[in-house]
Homo-oligomer: A and B are copies of this chain.
Amino acid sequence: MGGSLEFEGRDIISIKDFSREEINYVFKTAKTMEPLASKGSQILRGKILATLFFEASTRTRLSFESAMHKLGGSTIGFAEAEIASVKKGENLADTIRTVENYADVIALRHPLEGAARLAAEFSRVPIINGGSGAEEHPTQALLDMYTMVKEKGKIDGLKVAFVGDLRYGRTVHSLAYALSLYNIELYLVSPETLKMRREVLQTIKERIPVVERTSLEKIVPLVDVLYVTRIQRERFPDPAEYAKVKGSYRIDLQALSEAKKDLTILHPLPRLDEIAAEVDSTPYARYFQQVRNSIVVRMALLALILGAAK
């Protein structure tokens, strides 16, 4: 990587499009954003971000908008498909070819796989994928890893466990792929029915050691990072089965009794009760720091692709 040139005008569609060097460059840029996140800046003054959220995600949308404002830019957009002209049957390509005239960069959230990629094909302005389909959420993966770097100094050498729904959880797919570019050991802890999909697993296993387990108990003491995800009721036809599964992957003080002293617990949020409130006040809990880091990582991406990061 020779500087920011390679990012200017670039789409951020899939974490799979990033090399390890590029990811590190995003982290380096994010670090330079830390002071700007506190005191504000005007480096994107006159620039407009459009947040097109065809699927509600208040957290991600507000994070992008906050990042843009902290750089001095403006935002326009919509928060769910129902208030978009989509109701009139418009196709995504036309929406994009319209909004590219209104904005300098577009953050897109869409329920369908491939939507962000399609948008990028039609758009003259850069597209940032804010989550699409079941697999891609590249900015989430980047902020998750930036948090690991901030907490642990580096990613290489870490033992990381994913816990919960590894089948449908969009964030774990992007994150697993990105982590496999580093020298880590990955532990996958989930019920049988929510195991990580074979095709994702296969790619990762070619690069890093992966251990799959259905029980959390023996894994906790081993790992440096525990990445917890929501287990959603709607995945279970049987409510009793749901209750049982949910209980056995719940992180509370008891579950953490043999954790490493410097364990870092992350969660993409929102959480239901898979992490007990009693954990929030422990030094393990870093999921709200993750939110804070989301701002600087998204500031970095916006500044890079709009050519404003030095």
Residues of A within 8 A of B (CB): 39-42, 45-48, 50, 56-59, 62-63, 65-66, 69-70, 72, 74-80, 83-85, 87-90, 94-95, 97-99, 101-103, 269-272, 288, 291-292, 294-295
Contacts and interface: CB of A to CB of B under 8 A. Distances in A.
Contact of A46 (B70, B74, B102): B70
A85 B74 CA distance: 23
A65 B51 CA distance: 13
Contacts of A94: 269-271
A48 B69 CA distance: 8
Nearest to A53: B83
Contacts of A294: 101
Q: Which 4 A-B pairs have the closest CB atoms?
A: A40-B46, A66-B102, A90-B270, A69-B74
A32 B166 CA distance: 55
Contacts of A95: 270
Given A39-B46, A46-B39, A90-B271, A85 B58 contact: yes
B57 A47 contact: no
Nearest to A267: B94
A69 B102 CA distance: 10
B66 A103 contact: yes
Q: Which of A47, A58, A79 has the most CB of B within 10 A?
A: A58
A272 B70 CA distance: 38
